[in-house]
Every structure is written in C-alpha cells, then in structure tokens.
Amino acid sequence: MNLIILSKSDFIEDTERVHIQDHRLDHICNVNKPSVGDELRVGLLNGKIGCGRITLIEEGRIEMEVVLDREPPAPLQLTLIFSMVRPRVFKRVLTQVTAMGIKKIIVINSYRVEKSFWKSPVLEEESLNKYLIRGLEQGQDTIVPEILIRPLFKPFVEDELPDIIKGTHPFVAHPYASEQCPYNIGNPVTLAVGPEGGFIPYEVEKLIECGFSAVHLGERTMHVESAISGLISRLM
C-alpha cells in the first residue's frame, strides 16, 4: 500500500482530521509501524493527494490531520479491452492495469472464454471496487477507472466499439499477426487482448473490420497478464 486511500466518510465532521479503523489500520500498524507525529502519503478517493500526520494511535483506531494539495498522476491515454479470464488472474490484471494508470477497462466475452467465468463473484461491484482500490493504492493514484462488463461479443463490437475507438489508434493483440506491436504511439490508444489462446480468427476479423490493426509481441507466447503489461509498456 503505497498510498492510503481516504473516503469522505473517514473525515471527522467539519475538520481536516480523519479516523481509520478498517484494513488500512492493519496495514499501517503492521507495515508502517507508526508513531504519533509520523507522516503518511494519503489521497482522497477521486480527489487530491497529500500528506497525513498521525495525531492519535489507540487500540483499533488511528487519527490523522491531512493536507490534500496535489493532483493525482495523469491518466494513461489507453482504453483496455480484454476477454474475461480465470477469476484469480482477473484480480491480478485489474489491480495491475489500475496501478499503471488506465482509466477505462472493458471486459468482454470471446469464444475461448469458459462460461463459468461469467458467474464468478469477482464481477460483482463490491469485488471490482476492491481490486480497483488495490491498484490505486499500488500506483499512488486516486481516480477510480471506469469498468464495463460486456458478455456478448458481437453486439459490443458492432454497436458500441466504433464510438469507443474514435480518436484513438486501435490495436488487437494476435500472436499470428504480421505486424509487430509499435513503440510509443504518442496518441490515445485502444488495445484489445484476447483470452488464453487468443481471439479466434472470426473475432480478429470483426475487430479489423471495426478499424483495429492486428499486432504481435514477438515469437514468445505469454500469459494474458504478461502480454497486457508488455503491450501497454510498448504502446505508451
């Protein structure tokens, strides 16, 4: 936890003081091992970043005086579209890309996605928020990404995707593409990544029809989470 995320409910009425009593308290006590007067990096959810000075430590509670005076990091100008993956991998991907600064995430279906994945509790709002917040804590950011769940491939590609990619360079990752993924595009990007095994040819064709360019990362085959990180790092 590189940043302690605060919510408005943490603030003591009409003051610049906050009290912390949940899992954040456990982290502060066990990892930071603070004393009164110590300062910690804090940020208000969807707001500014600053510093919190500890004024009280007691059983089950810490209070801080906070000053929020800096804007969060600039967002990464990339919209990520990826096929639903195994729930344990999904959690890591969500946290990872949030930490990297991506602010629009779209989870889609594709032929090679197991139907059972869509019934996972990781897709419930409370769970999604949990892993998005973890990513913010890791990346020292406060702005929660927008996340869309789209379990029907064809309607999404035909009805929504054309508007989503407007003003961006759209790329679809495909291991058998003839073009290698470019470096440092310098403009907004939309990136589509398939499940383990990749998109099937029909899905790649539909994305190309929509305006995507198919690219690959090289000769090595990677797991989805590694491929996503590698593609984002190269494109941005």
The string of DSSP letters for 2-14 reads -SEEE-GGGB-TT
Q: pLDDT confidence of 139, banded at 50, 70, 90?
A: very high
CATH architecture of 76-235: 3-Layer(aba) Sandwich (3.40)
CATH 3.40.1280.10 residue ranges of the chain are 76-235
Q: State the pLDDT at residue 225.
A: 93
Name 183's Cβ contacts closer than 8 Å, sequence gap at least 6. Answer: 234, 235
Max mean pLDDT range (12-26, 86-100, 169-183): 86-100
Which class does domain 4-70 fall in?
mainly beta
Which tokens in the block code for residue 63?
Answer: 């209070």
| pLDDT tens-digit readout, 75-113 | 999 999 999 999 999 999 999 999 999 999 999 999 999
What does DSSP assign to residue 195? S
219 has a pLDDT exceeding 80? no
CATH 2.40.240.20 residue ranges of the chain are 4-70
pTM above 0.75, yes or no: yes
